[in-house]
Amino acid sequence: MKFTIDGLEISAEQDDTIMDASRRAEVFIPGLCYSSSTEPTHSCRLCMVEVEEKNSLRLVAACAYKVKENLKVVTTTERVSKVRKTILKHLYSMAPENPAIMELMNLYKIEKAPIIKEKKSHCILCGRCVKACEKLGISAISTVNRGVTKEINTPYGKPAEYCMGCGSCSEVCPTKCITIKDNEEGRTIWHKHFEWARCEKCGVIVTTKEHFANSNPNNTPVVCPVCKRRYMTDVFADTFGE
Amino acid sequence: MNDKKRSIEEILITFPSAKRFSLAILQEVQKEYKYISPDNLKAISNYLAIPISDIFSMATYYKSLSLEKKGEFIIKVCDGTACHIRGSLSVLDEVKRALNINEGETTPDGLFSLEIVNCVGACAMAPVVICNQDYFGNVKLGKAKEIINSCVKAVD
Ligand code: SF4
Ligand code: SF4
Ligand code: FES
Ligand code: FES
């Protein structure tokens, strides 16, 4: 399937959204809650573009709108830049001076509005972390409260029983606002402390013990990828007597 | 009012085990126990086979649900525009004094909770005070105690 973004022809697969296809083709449309690997949340609204429908233009979210054959997408209209500006200013007020937001503000030459209130977290409530954890089958975190006190947290703000300290939530977070503390002993994330699973051969950190146990069959020895390869080579050498 | 409360199992069993009943179950539990306790939250999550975090998210989202125990009687003082103009804040003060608690609090005997609400759609009879299902309109100063007593009597 072919369609165009600002006149540039792009190919798309069945069920692709405009965002899926554009990211694959490396045509940039901003979007902070989008990730090709987790379920979309359509929450940041930064990806608004216009599509041509029945000879008129309509504002749609690129991460939600499914591509059709010969679809015309435009991202350079007055309306798009206006919406984008409003949304970025709003995101800026949620996460002042956050690098991910500043990068976009600079890219679109948007002036900063004065910061009204210092924020204790740069969370923009995009929901990516929740989706990432859900995809792992854990669902340790969710949105808590409503309105101005809404945040992402574990139930009761206590260590969550099933959280395995994998850090996937923090990895997908666009504003990198999930506190994750790693040191020699282990990792602390979401009010919970985890010990490292270290490679039995060389001692490097593989991941947390809980994460390792959850992603491997029982009693799998902890071996890092490098040592595993080395070990396999030894096995081959033994077997073939080289 | 003192009849025995239904157990969480008794409540759960009246609902099919499907996600779409989560809010209805939460409301029922809230009604029975006046709050959602951690144990009950867990029981609901087990029964519906959905993560605790999802249930917790709902329990903290809806204003009608609470994680802390609410009183048997929930007194709501309307402070919408119409009620405000007609003196709702003085009414509120009176209720506070009568119960000796602030808004958002519950009396130590677990009988009353006090809340402020914004317009309950009965502006014509402002100022309005609600006690559980009962509406009291045109509340005059000095009437707060009477209203509170009448609620308790109605149930006794
Ligand atoms: S670190 Fe915990 S909360 Fe974050 S994705 Fe992993 S299991 Fe979920
Ligand atoms: S913590 Fe990060 S990923 Fe999660 S909702 Fe907030 S901004 Fe999004
Ligand atoms: S990327 Fe489309 S709404 Fe966030
Ligand atoms: S303002 Fe109180 S009922 Fe409308």
The pLDDT value given to residue A14: 93
Residue ending a domain, choose from A72, A107, A142: A107
Identify whether residues A100 and A178 lie together within a single domain: no
Asked whether residue B1 is assigned to any structural domain, the reply reads: no
- In terms of pLDDT, which residue wins out, A151 or B146? A151
Ligand 4 pocket list (CB less than 6 A): B 78, 80-83, 119-123, 126, 128
- Is the model's pLDDT at A187 over the cut of 80? yes
Together in a domain, B35 and B89 = no
A140 shares a domain with A93: no
Amino acid identity for residue A56 in this structure: S
* Whether residues A146 and A228 fall in one domain: yes
Q: In this structure, is residue A160 part of a structural domain?
A: yes
**Domain housing B129:** 73-153
* B46 lies in some domain: yes
> Between these two residues, B145 and B28, which has the higher pLDDT value?
B28
- Domain of B87, CATH number, reads 3.40.30.10
Which of B53, B63, B65 is the best mutation test for A, with the most CBs of A within 10 A? B53
Full residue range of the structural domain in which residue A202 is found:
128-235
* CA distance readout (Å), B143 to A22, B82, B91, B94: 66, 19, 8, 8
More confident residue, A232 or A64: A64
Nearest to A144 among B38, B51, B57 (CB): B57
* Helices B52-61, B22-33: crossing angle, 10 deg rounding: 60
**A96 within a domain of the structure (yes/no):** yes
Q: Are residues B57 and B82 in the same domain?
A: no
Q: Show the ligand 2 pocket: residues with CB < 6 angstroms.
A: A 123-129, 152, 172-175, 177-178
Integer CA distances (angstroms), A235 to A64, A147, A201, A223, in order: 50, 59, 15, 15
**Are A133 and A72 part of one and the same domain?**
no
How close, in Å, is residue B60 to chain A by CA atoms?
Answer: 5
Whole-number Å distance, alpha carbon A213 to ligand 1 midpoint, is 14
pLDDT, residue B156, reads: 61
* Residue A116 banded pLDDT, cuts 50, 70, 90: confident
Residue showing tokens 């919406």: A83
How confident is the model over A7-55, as pLDDT tens digits? 999 999 999 999 999 999 999 999 999 988 888 999 999 999 999 988 8
pLDDT of residue A231: 77
Atom of ligand 2 nearest to the CA of A132: 3
Question: pLDDT band at residue A118, thresholds of 50, 70 and 90?
Answer: confident
For residue B57, which residues of chain A lie inside 8 Å, CB to CB? 142-144
Are residues B83 and B54 both part of a single domain? no
Q: For chain A, where are the alpha helices, taking DSSP H only? A: 18-24, 78-94, 99-107, 128-135, 168-172, 209-215, 225-240
Write down the pLDDT at residue B2: 52
Q: Is residue A124 within 8 Å of residue A91, measured between CB atoms?
A: yes
Same domain, B33 and B87: no
| B36 assigned to some structural domain | yes
Pick from B132, B147, B135: nearest CA to B1: B132
Mean pLDDT calculated for residue range A127-142: 96
Same domain as B133, residue B82: yes
Do B48 and B77 lie in one domain? The reply is no
Least confident window among A129-138, B7-16, B67-76, B142-151:
B142-151
> How many structural domains does chain B have?
2
Read off the pLDDT band of B59 (50, 70, 90).
very high
Check: CB of residue A181 under 8 Å from CB of residue A188.
Answer: yes
Would residue B67 count as lying in a domain?
Answer: no
Side chain identity at B8, as an amino acid letter?
Answer: I
Same domain, B34 and B83: no
Question: Residue A242 pLDDT > 70, yes or no?
Answer: no
B103 shares its domain with B146: yes
Does the beta-carbon distance from B61 to A142 stay under 8 Å? no
Is B1's pLDDT higher than 60?
no
A177 and A220 in a common domain: yes
A241 — pLDDT class (breaks 50, 70, 90) = low
Q: pLDDT tens digit string along A189-232?
A: 999 999 999 999 999 999 999 999 999 999 899 999 898 888 77
| DSSP conformation letters of A200-237 | TTT--EEEEHHHHHHHS-TT-----HHHHHHHHHHHHH
DSSP code per residue over A1-23: -EEEETTEEEE--TT-BHHHHHH
Q: Flag the least confident range among A192-201, A231-240, B40-49.
A: A231-240
Task: Based on the fold, state whether residues B56 and B96 are members of the same structural domain.
Answer: no
Residues A222, A163 within the same domain: yes
ipTM of the complex: 0.82
Question: Residue B78 domain-assigned?
Answer: yes
pLDDT at A119: 78
The reported pLDDT for the residue numbered B154 is 65
Nearest CA to A49 among A75, A29, A68?
A75
Which pLDDT score is estimated for B155?
Answer: 64
pLDDT of residue A199: 94
The per-residue pLDDT for A237 is 75
